[in-house]
Chains A and B, each alone.
Chain A
């Protein structure tokens, strides 16, 4: 399906922002003055890698 090439920059910026927000909501954000190793993102990534391996 053909798409208007003038939409390309919008697609790039919107997808970057959406995925960034999604990542921050998943817990990938810096913790000021605290432990940088949050358990939630680590287990999320392990699950993701495990899923990929299967």
Chain B
């Protein structure tokens, strides 16, 4: 059975949250913000 349309945002969120490719840039971004805070 195909998922209903109302599940689409939840499925999209799950696909992104379980994608390692998402977490690598996010961690680097947080590191960059930390460095910027130290530099200012």
Q: Tell me if chain B binds chain A.
A: no
